[in-house]
Structure formats: structure tokens, C-alpha cells
Structure 1
Amino acid sequence: MTAAAPSRPVAVSVFERANPLAKLLALLPVTVVLVASMDWVSSGIVLLAAVALLPLSGIRTGEFLRRAWLLVAAALASAWGTALVGEDSGRVLLAAGPLDVTEGSVLAGAATGLRILAVALPGVMVFITTDPTDLADALAQRLRLPARFVLGSLAAFRMLAVLTDEWRTLGQARRARGVGTGGNPVRRTASWLGQAFGLLVQAIRRATRLAVTMEARGFGAGERTWARESRFTPLDGAVVAAGFALAALAAGLALGTGAWNLVWS
């Protein structure tokens, strides 16, 4: 018999090594800037930074697009809708019946689309590179949140993948019985609603069993010990500092170019 080749260590990206709370703290000032101003400069800066930092996250481009394509589609739809119904200003670029697309409405649409992407895509990066157990450890040990709440949230987070598999299984079972395989849009919608109701029933049953099991094992009762300590390292400090620096850069460039536009002004 030949000896088995030693397994190679799995490469861990910079973002995966960072503490989950550090990543959330880094997102906080960036999100505040994006929510406060409706302009394309600050959103564009944050979006460019997210794309530039994508290699540090260890996420493949294909996987990232597979996770974020719906957000991209929503941003494009919002941008186009804003360009059609936004406030008209400047030169008319397109006249579509009662709707006019002007330079001002196009800029407003671009700002809306970029804003959605700039808020959502960094969140997707954090979501992909964060282990739910590490996040639960950080919330309980660093923020001192109640163990019952933290562990319940962790269980719900872990169940997302299970519910995805159950949705696929329910769809295959219904197709095997000839349900939802064709018909007009009304019948397809009714079939989809029936499948969604079945998934809701399965989720409630699974959540009930999980709650009873966790209660029987003493989750949330008294002081708990943790198998892994949640620590803050110099890398976490650098991540938080980078988040504040990016927020300051985006706000500063937006103010300097005159594009800064407070949403409540």
C-alpha cells in the first residue's frame, strides 16, 4: 500500500481571519455615509473599494456573482425606474410618451443604483467570509448579548441552508406528482404559494423540535463557557480603521466635488 499524500492546508483569506465584529464595525461608518447622502460619488468610491478588496476576501468571482446577481438586477431596475420618474432637470435625453429621461434624472438613477450596490455588496462579502459560530462567539463574549438569543440566532442562521435543500426537495416531490409542472401563470403562482406554505410548515416543525432540544440541553440556563475565545488582533484594528478611512474618503470626495446630497434636504 502506498502512503496517502498529506493534505494541503486550506488557505484562509484576510477577511476570514478577521473577527466578525471588526467587519461589522468597519461596515457601520460606510453604511452611515451611504444612507445619509444620495450621490453617485460616495457610492462609486465604496463600490470600487469593494471590487478592489474582493481578492482579499478569497471569494471567487463566479461565486460572488452567483450570490449577488439578484442585488445587481434590483439595482439596475431601481436605477432605470428612477431615471424614468425622477425629477427632470437639464437636457432631455429620451422622450417616452408622458415620461422624459433627462440628464438630472439619469444622474439620480445612477446614484440610486450605485447606492444599492455599494450598501449590499460589502454586506455580501462579509456574509460569505463570516462563520456563523465565530459571529455567535463574538456577540456573546464581546457584546455580552444573552446566550439564549445568540444561540437561537445561530441555530436560525444554520437552518438557512437546510431550508434551501427542503425547498428543492418539495419542488421535486411536487413535480413527481405532476403538480406545478405547467399551466397558466395563475396556476403556477398558486403552485408556488402551496410549495411556500409547505416549506413554512416544515420550518415551524423543525424550529419547534430544535427549541425543545436546546431547552432540554440547558441552552441559556446560567453561566456558559465557550470552546473558543473571541479575540481582537491587530488585523481587526486595521479592518476597522480601513472602514472609517473609506467612509471619510467617500464623504470627503462627495463634498469636494459638490455631489453630496443629504437625503433629508
Structure 2
Amino acid sequence: MNRYVALGSSMAAGPGIRPLAAGAPRVAGRSARNYPRLVAHALGLDLVDVTFSGATTAHLLSERQLGVPPQIETLDGSETLVTITIGGNDVGYVPLLMGATLPGLFRRLPAVAELLDPGLREQALSEVEPALQAVGAAVRSRSPRARVIFVDYLTLLPPAGERAGRLPEDVVHLARHVADGLQRCTAAAAATTGCELVRAGVASREHHPWSAQPWTVGPGLPLPWRPWPFHPNAAGMAAVAGLVAMSCGGRA
């Protein structure tokens, strides 16, 4: 079989989408129905899935995460496909949205206030593009025979002009800016490093949590028996798998 390695954060792992992946660390939040597994099944690939909830570009490249080695160490050069979904935790995208769901008093706590600070989010965006470029370059170097595909994040908010439930509009505006910036940085990193790009964000614009056919989940509590808030649901994972498989010339 051809070897496929999936790298990334919770947006690829699929926390809360039942069932859990057999043998995966529970803290990884890795679903047996995440897009890497669906792609591997559709294309007949031998999957090594090291996606991990909470991962940053540093966890992918150089830092251990809860005792687990950097994800890139999984690559041995025999891969024919590598997918990468990363960067959101670097810029505080989902934590920002989670902070927006808190009562006003809690939003003034220092840690939450930092997440909601436009200047700090802008600084984080300025730092994520070179980090993503480093990821792309390192993966290309370690897996020279592989198709390397960045897969950006599914849409988590309705378009401008539409309400996002009860989320404060100023925070929603900031989160949209962060999401747009992350998409631009991911696309630029893919182009700069010779990687491919699957634009899950563009494909899912009409499938936000408040839409008729959502691919992602809106506000709520992160309970283990259902998809986590501001994360893909099963339909979203299936949709991303279809996009990735089609980009590889197959069908999910």
C-alpha cells in the first residue's frame, strides 16, 4: 500500500465525532471518521494519522505535545501523500471564539482579554505565515516523493452581515479577520513551498454552523460524545475528505 501521513490539529483530528480512532491517545481527540481516515479508505492508502487536538506549528515541527514527539518525525520519506491542517492554534482562532461565548465578566479576565485583543491577533497572524512556510518546507524535505497538501480550516462563522447567534458582533468581526488571514497565510505558504492547497474554507462558506446544512458546530460545551464547539461535524469531515480525494484524482 501507499503510505499516507496526516499531520495537524483538531480540525483534522475531529474531536467528539464518534467513534474514537482505535489506539489513539484520548487527549488527541482523533476520530475514526475524520477526513484522513475517509481519504485513506477512498484512495486505498495506508494511513498514519498523528493529528492531535491543540497542536500548533511548533508541535508539528519541533516540540513534544503531552509527551508525544513532534508530528513531523513520523515522516520517513516513503510517503506518497501528506496532508497538513495547522495554524489555527497559533493565531488563537478557536480559543477566540470560545472566549466570545463567555459572560462579559469572564471576557475581562487577562487570558481571555488577550485572545480578544485585535492587536495581539494581528501580531499572531504576522507570525503564522513564516511558521506555515517552515512546515511546508520541512515536510517537502522529509517526503520528497509525496504529494503534500495543505488543507485549510472549514468555515466557522456566517458571512458579514449575518448574525452569528448571540456572539458579540465585535468579536465575530475579529474572528472573521483572523479566519481570512489564516486562509491567506496558508495559501501563501503552500505556494511558496511548492505544496498543493485544498480550500476547505472557501468550499464551506455556505455550510457554517447557523446554515441549513452545517459542516461545523457552533457554540456549546466541549462534551466527549458530540463534536466539539467550533469544530467540524461528521458531514464536514466527509466534505473535506471529498475535496482531498478529488484533488488526488479519486473520490471519497
TM, length-normalised to structure 2: 0.25
The structure richer in strand per residue is 2
User: Considering only CA atoms, is the larger Rg found in Structure 1 or Structure 2?
Assistant: 1
